Structure 1
Amino acid sequence: MKKTLLVLALAFSAQAYAVQPATANTVIDFESLAHDQEIAYLDAGYSHIEDGFSVSTLATNFGFSVWGSASPFFTGSTSLINDSDSGLTRLSQIGGGLFALKSIDLAAMFPGLGEEATTVTFTGLKSDSSRVTQSFSVAASGVQTFSFGSEFTQLSSVTWSNDAYYTQFDNINVAAVPEPETYALFLAGLGLLALARRRRSL
């Protein structure tokens, strides 16, 4: 009986531990799309999958583009650009899991050309079908990191669109949210471990 309890406890704990890394922050940095050209090529497709997340454009006329490192508009890090006028970009987790959105880097598409600051509004769809929004003013030059409020969690998807000017986006900091049964599994494992230790001490 003692051995059975110990085996069960170890099994529960191992399975709970296996899903724990999903709660860690993930930074989607688009470095797999890096190139050394001067132009922003248009064959980056309509969706990009990285670290278990999908970034897709809902437009059908143009997809995403990426400035090459030889471009004067390159920010020093590979960024994605939605090439459709007022194009809607959507972020979601592969498989439909919930996640939290922590921060994102934004920059003008043509930094340094005297464009005015533009506003980018993010809309998050939560698991209970409610919505949260947050807007950021992006300066005409340089990269800015914007942090989201604590309400940007339990999200099934987040969308944002180009405003008056296009923007580059990069380093999307997200964290998968464990399903409730994951917590239950973890607690069950801890409980069985405690019970097994207590029985061994008797």
Structure 2
Amino acid sequence: MKLTSLVVAPYAFAAFAGLWATNAAADNLLVNGDFESPLDWTSGVSYNAGYSAFVGSQIPGWTIESGHAVTIHNTNAYPYIAGAFSVNMDGEGYNGHNANLYQDFASTSGYQYQLSFDWQGWFNDSNPQLDVSIVDLSDDSVLYHGNFGYSSNLMQESASFHGTGNMLRLRVMESPESGYNDNAFIVDNFAVSVVAVPEPETYALFIAGLGLLGVVSRRQSRAVV
């Protein structure tokens, strides 16, 4: 019976390791963070063969702030970063505003997350800035904020933050705005994922599980003559 206990322990450890690997898998918590979901191209408030400007909830997974539009480039004529579609943050200067879009996602308290995204300048306009933030919707606390000026290089941003247990909001906008068709920033590939590092409470749970396994093993040993 001692042999049985020794065999069970590795399986218990393997099960825990598998559970952690599943929970910490680097799945993107955002919907359509790469803007590749199908679009009704001709439903935009302004469009041609190379771009379309969308409003409201016309971009799957995202909400566009009222009074703003978000320009999507395809690969036909205008700059893009990856895949078939990328966002031009000027929003065509719709209603005197530039692009302002957001997406909400759930977080777990104590978990560490990673935000990543790509951006690149197109026209060198000193007026607008690309602004990306993550805010806790329960108390408006800022978990991440990045504000970027023009660069012709492809920039790949990455930052970590901790979950609060509340709903969080990723917002992408120009701030300050230019208010016109500035063609200043192209963005793409937004992702939020859990960082694969166990938190202290996870270790505590594992240790408690091993302790319980030890108690069961001792009881089995005493029960066998």
TM range, smaller chain: 0.5 to 0.7
CA RMSD across the alignment: 4.6
Q: Distance in 2 between matches of 1:141 and 1:101?
A: 25
CA contact 1:58–1:89 (8 Å) conserved in 2: yes
Q: Offset at 1:134?
A: 2.6
1:169 is aligned to 187
For this pair of structures, how many residues does the alignment match?
186
The residue correspondences of 1:53-68 to structure 2 (distance < 5 A) are 56-68=62-74
Q: Distance in 2 between matches of 1:186 and 1:81?
A: 47
Q: Distance in 2 between matches of 1:102 and 1:119?
A: 19
CA contact 1:103–1:172 (8 Å) conserved in 2: yes
Could you state the TM-score of these two structures normalised by the residue count of structure 2?
0.56
Q: Distance in 2 between matches of 1:67 and 1:183?
A: 46
Output one character per residue of 1:24-76: Cα deviation in whole Å (capped at 9) or x when no partner: 334542333499x8411235844533xxxxxx234224554421112232234
**Which runs of no fewer than 5 residues in structure 2 stay unpaired?**
41-47, 179-183
Q: Distance in 2 between matches of 1:120 and 1:97?
A: 25
SS in 2 for 1:21: helix
Larger Rg: 2
Q: Distance in 2 between matches of 1:128 and 1:60?
A: 21
1:30 is aligned to 35
Question: 2:131 matched to 1:121?
Answer: yes
1:53 is aligned to none
Counterpart code for 2:80: F
Question: 2:105 matched to 1:105?
Answer: no
2:155 is aligned to 144
CA contact 2:124–2:150 (8 Å) conserved in 1: no
Q: Distance in 2 between matches of 1:167 and 1:103?
A: 16
Question: 2:87 matched to 1:80?
Answer: yes
CA contact 2:50–2:77 (8 Å) conserved in 1: yes
Output one character per residue of 1:10-34: Cα deviation in whole Å (capped at 9) or x when no partner: 89x8598457434233454233349
**Which runs of no fewer than 5 residues in structure 1 stay unpaired?**
50-55
Counterpart code for 1:146: E
2:52 is aligned to 41
CA contact 2:69–2:98 (8 Å) conserved in 1: no
Fraction of identical pairs, as percent: 22
Q: Distance in 1 between matches of 2:194 and 2:114?
A: 9
Q: Distance in 1 between matches of 2:194 and 2:202?
A: 12
Q: Offset at 1:197?
A: 7.7
Could you state the TM-score of these two structures normalised by the residue count of structure 1?
0.61
Q: Distance in 1 between matches of 2:137 and 2:203?
A: 17
